[in-house]
Structure 1
Amino acid sequence: MYDIASIYQARSVADAIRALQADPSALVIAGGTDVLIKVREGKLAGCSLVSIHGLGEELSGVTQASGGDIEIGPLTTFRGVAFDPVIRRCIPVLGEAVDQAGGPQLRAAGTIGGNVCNGITSADSASTLMALGAVLRVRSPRGEREVPIAQWYKGVGKVDLAHEELLVKIVIPRANCEGYTGHYIKYAMRSAMDIATLGVSCLVKLSADKRTVEEARLAFGVAGPVPMRACGAEAAVRGLPIGEAVGRIGRAALEDVHPRSSWRASKEFRLQLVEELSGRALREAARKGGAQI
């Protein structure tokens, strides 16, 4: 049994926002894969909920805008993202990343918006969305605003989302994905149904002859309190031959990250993972782009 004081089923995005305004203590629930666990554990016992589960027509699905940006509804499930034809054609690395979240039951119910809004650095979508430079579009009684994902995470479990605001779209700018190929690596204590000890996502744009790194985008989960880009490592490999870049990117990334020790892994082990997995992710991303490695 779940100790829930009340649950309100929103009829529209505007209705959900009004319900949040009316109840300063209410929590949003969508797939429920995070919230219901916390309720059952007693962390949110007696809470009131505003359910947006039935707003799929407004908040789910993936489309490509006329300008080439990719727009993802926050109620799109992990499975929906992984198997969407737009994602598979334009940014398959994101589908591959979310397809590693939990087990098949979680991926069928959990949403990418919930994964973003819970503010957890180990979220499987987080490092890839960070590498893609996603933009989060949120709506409130005052209208809409857009938050670059680099400014979204404010601390452990904290994001730039006010109580009466609702995430309504995740936007991947065309310039951040067109011409890139990517690869995501999740290192966990188990090979399935576990959270990441470290997550690394790397995107690369190759030169016309497929021998040189024109641009690289490298991001991590669990390499600090929030998901982060490794901008120093990206700059260090720009313009380098692929083989040299693969050897250098991991060492350079050590200057960008700030992992800590936990019961899952020591700081030192996470640093070892950062160095090793960065090179592996770049190598595989480049191979997908046509490089001969």
Structure 2
Amino acid sequence: MFDIKNIQEPRSVEEAVKILHENNNLKIISGGTDVLIKLHHGDMKEVELLSLKNLKELDFIKVLENDTIEIGSTTCFTNIYRNKIIKDFIPALGQGAVSMGGPQIRNMATIGGNVCNGAVSADSAPSLFAFNAKLRLRSFKGERIVPIEEFYEGPGKVNIRKDEILISIFIEKKDYEGVRGTYIKYSNRKAMDISMLGVCVVASMKENKFKDLRIALGVAAPTPIRCKDAEKYALGLEYSEENINNIAQYAVKSASARDSWRASKAYREHLIKELTVRGIYEVTK
């Protein structure tokens, strides 16, 4: 039996932020795939929940007038993977979505919950980092926009206040236009396993040289990261096997890989190098 003291189910965002303003000790739940596991294991006692499941206004994917792509926070991973906008413009995010869990989990888990959980292994995070996503947060007092790189503050810790709700995620046209991206996940099993390493590579070429290269890693540091030194090194660099290997080595240096029960530091660094190389080839071939 779940130890739930109370659950509130607002019908609008305005009602949700008002409830949260009056009681910011409420635990926000959307798909519930993370919270329910913690409840099942007894990690949360007499919890009070604020459920967003009825907020259909946050379940959407659309292109705004300025060609920015906006994704509502309660959009589930199945819908992200199947959506034509995602497939046409940011398929790497769809690759991350379909790699998460099994069909039942993807039908329930939401992108907002995946981000706000703060897990370094979140399958949406590397793609959102690589595409410079921005997060729209709302409280009873107003809204603020936070770049994704400023949102993750540590393992399981994110830059969201107790009275705030994640409304949507933005990816601007300048960050997805004219580039190709891919997401590669490595895990111990081929299905329904937590990522041992996630790599998103985004690139564009001009005259056989790197015009733009972005490399984002999950499970390679205390938070998802961008490999800025590798990206800077790659700009204007000629396309060659040697240069691609050097770029990947810079990506390894950007990481803070560590030993864990799932993999040693040395093995993770090997994966970073190999998957970065594979990702670069995939988006430039």
Instruction: State the Cα distance separating 1:24 from its structure 2 match.
Output: 3.1
Structure 1: how far apart are the matches of 2:224 and 2:31?
Answer: 22
The equivalent residue for 1:223 is 220
Deviation digits for residues 167-218 of structure 1, max 9, x if unmatched? 00100011111111011111101111001111110000121x5x22111010
Instruction: State the Cα distance separating 1:25 from its structure 2 match.
Output: 2.0
Contact 2:21 2:139 in 1 (8 A): no
Contact 1:248 1:279 in 2 (8 A): no
Deviation digits for residues 136-157 of structure 1, max 9, x if unmatched? 0100122110000110001111
Instruction: State the Cα distance separating 1:280 from its structure 2 match.
Output: 0.6
2:200 paired with 1:201: yes
Deviation digits for residues 63-115 of structure 1, max 9, x if unmatched? 11111110000110001111111111111111111110011110011000100
TM-score (norm 1): 0.95
2:43 paired with 1:43: yes
When the two chains are superposed, the root-mean-square deviation of aligned CA atoms in Å is 1.0
Contact 2:134 2:148 in 1 (8 A): yes
The equivalent residue for 2:157 is 158
Larger deviation, residues 240-249 vs 275-284: 240-249
**How does 1:270-289 map onto structure 2 within 5 Å?**
270-287=268-285
Over the matched positions of the two proteins, sequence identity in percent amounts to: 42
Larger deviation, residues 219-228 vs 238-247: 238-247
Structure 1: how far apart are the matches of 2:176 and 2:260?
Answer: 34
Structure 1: how far apart are the matches of 2:94 and 2:190?
Answer: 18
Query: Aligned letter for 2:177?
Result: E
**How does 1:104-119 map onto structure 2 within 5 Å?**
104-119=103-118
The equivalent residue for 1:249 is 247
**How does 1:172-183 map onto structure 2 within 5 Å?**
172-183=171-182
The equivalent residue for 1:290 is none
Structure 2: how far apart are the matches of 1:38 and 1:19?
Answer: 23
Contact 2:182 2:201 in 1 (8 A): yes
Structure 2: how far apart are the matches of 1:201 and 1:126?
Answer: 9
Number of aligned residues: 284
Structure 1: how far apart are the matches of 2:276 and 2:21?
Answer: 44
TM-score (norm 2): 0.97
Instruction: State the Cα distance separating 1:222 from its structure 2 match.
Output: 0.6
**How does 1:1-293 map onto structure 2 within 5 Å?**
1-56=1-56, 58-207=57-206, 209=207, 211-244=208-241, 245-287=243-285
Query: Aligned letter for 1:239?
Result: G
Structure 2: how far apart are the matches of 1:179 and 1:257?
Answer: 27
Structure 2: how far apart are the matches of 1:97 and 1:252?
Answer: 24
Q: Secondary structure at the match of 2:5?
A: strand
Structure 1: how far apart are the matches of 2:155 and 2:28?
Answer: 18
Instruction: State the Cα distance separating 1:22 from its structure 2 match.
Output: 2.1
Contact 2:130 2:226 in 1 (8 A): yes
